[in-house]
Structure 1
Amino acid sequence: MNPNYYTLAPKVIPIQGTPLRIIEVLPVGLPDRLDRVSIMVNTDQGQSNILDNNRWTSTLSTELHDSLSASLQQQLNAVDRYTSGISTTNTVYRIAIDFSRFDIVKPIPNHRNGSVEVAVSWMIKPIEPLQTSTTSKQPTHRLLNCRMSFSQEVANSDSVTDMVNASKLAVNQVTTGVSDAVFAVEKGTTPRVNHAVCS
């Protein structure tokens, strides 16, 4: 049987005009048990089922990184310097994201719907442009750490497509939290992000 391939990659609309921000999305941290090509489904009782005929188009950590990078570029009207390698005289927002959980959980029969269980933290470190003796000034941005955990419901836990769609919704929620945090760092304020705590 030929395997089915799925991706978390979002639909991206080309950025219009000159990019306003430069970001640098580092490779995503993910537990080894999750970082595989085959989709893995867990049960409420702690059992894991590897779906060898249903696969991501790359390892899950790469899928998460590429999806987050593309979505953040869209939401922030930005270019990811990590993948483009461009040089800039603007502030660069370096973003490190670490997932301790990204588990697709299928309940035992006749119980609640399945879910994608997410626990993630991220750090935004502003990299200020090099200053000269004539332009020296105090940095205006501060480092920010955030963490969040939530459950994203799977409409039909017997459908791999629904599992993938729920995974995409979960990534979208993380993306929104990270982009809100970038806006807050830029403005020097404390972000208010659903399900997240920042300091």
Structure 2
Amino acid sequence: MTFARVPRTMRAAALSALLIAALAACSSPPSHFYTLSAGDQSPDAVRTASNPAFLIEVPPVDVPPQVAKNQFVVQTGPTQVQVLEQERWASLPGDEIRRALSSSLTQQLGTIDVYGSPYPDRVPVYRVSVNVQRFESWPGSRAQIDAVWSVRAVRTQAVLTCRSAVSEPVSGGYDALAEGHRRAVQRIATEIAAAVRNLAAAPARGAAVTCPASTSGPSAAPSTAPSASNTATKG
């Protein structure tokens, strides 16, 4: 049996082709990661939270299943979306929103998020539950979040349920889009913080508590008429 000798030029060409293929595989576009968290608490906020008048619990946040993934899901039309492999959240959107809300609320209220941790019986606790019903990303246009949230006094079971619909204008680029969502979450956190304060003051005030005035625009402002959805109730 005889074997044909492969010419040196052919071997060199084959090696070159393999090298080019390897370099092409290594030159795939890099992934970019974004977060909704604004950073560490300020020293003043940490000092205030050392002996808070009440505590909060921020459990996991529900988001629509179509955006519950690390990849950015952007709107390209009213009924069409695009999943971007290279533009990603640092963690799942629900986790990002929960972490950002927890950080903002603890700073605004001077308290501690005790979700998943034991806490003393004598301290009032307010559980903040958030259900994000719309989380839309329109590049170069807006970042939109529509959420129903509730604040429940764990001891007395008094509960206040409200809705926030926030649309933040954004410029081009995915950095701007992530920043728009971060601002939207901060605006929702400000409304929730006002509700927690109102509910915490309700026993001393002896009055019904309604949803705070919305910071997200007239179209999202809740009604001031008493109802099951915007007045503190027992249950």
| TM-score, length basis structure 1 | 0.84
Q: Deviations over 1:88-128 (max 9, x none)?
A: 4211101110000011124xxxxxx5111221011111012
- How far apart, in 2, do the equivalents of 1:118 and 1:183 lie? 23
The alpha-carbon deviation at position 60 of structure 1 amounts to: 0.5
Greater share of residues in strand:
1
Aligned length: 180
The alpha-carbon deviation at position 83 of structure 1 amounts to: 4.4
The answer on whether the counterparts of 1:30 and 1:99 sit within 8 Å (CA) in structure 2 is yes
2:75 to 27, 42, 67: 42
The alpha-carbon deviation at position 68 of structure 1 amounts to: 0.6
Do residues 193 (structure 1) and 193 (structure 2) align?
Answer: no
Do residues 67 (structure 1) and 96 (structure 2) align?
Answer: no
Do residues 148 (structure 1) and 164 (structure 2) align?
Answer: yes
Percent identity between the aligned chains? 26
Q: Which amino acid aligns with 1:68?
A: L
Do residues 167 (structure 1) and 181 (structure 2) align?
Answer: yes
The alpha-carbon deviation at position 19 of structure 1 amounts to: 2.3
2:196 to 155, 161, 182: 182
Map residues 1-199 of structure 1 onto 2, 5 A cutoff.
Answer: 1-11=29-39, 12-14=41-43, 15-16=46-47, 17-106=50-139, 114-128=141-155, 139=156, 142-154=158-170, 156=171, 158-188=172-202, 189-194=209-214, 195-197=220-222, 198-199=230-231
Q: Which amino acid aligns with 1:192?
A: P
The alpha-carbon deviation at position 148 of structure 1 amounts to: 1.9
Greater share of residues in helix:
2
| TM-score, length basis structure 2 | 0.71
CA pair 47-103 structure 1, distance change in 2 beyond 3 A: same
- How far apart, in 1, do the equivalents of 2:145 and 2:68 lie? 14
Q: Note the aligned Cα RMSD (angstroms).
A: 1.7
User: Where in structure 2 are there 5+ consecutive unaligned residues?
Assistant: 1-28, 203-208, 215-219, 223-229
SS in 1 for 2:73: strand
- How far apart, in 2, do the equivalents of 1:32 and 1:124 lie? 24
Bigger radius of gyration among the two: 2
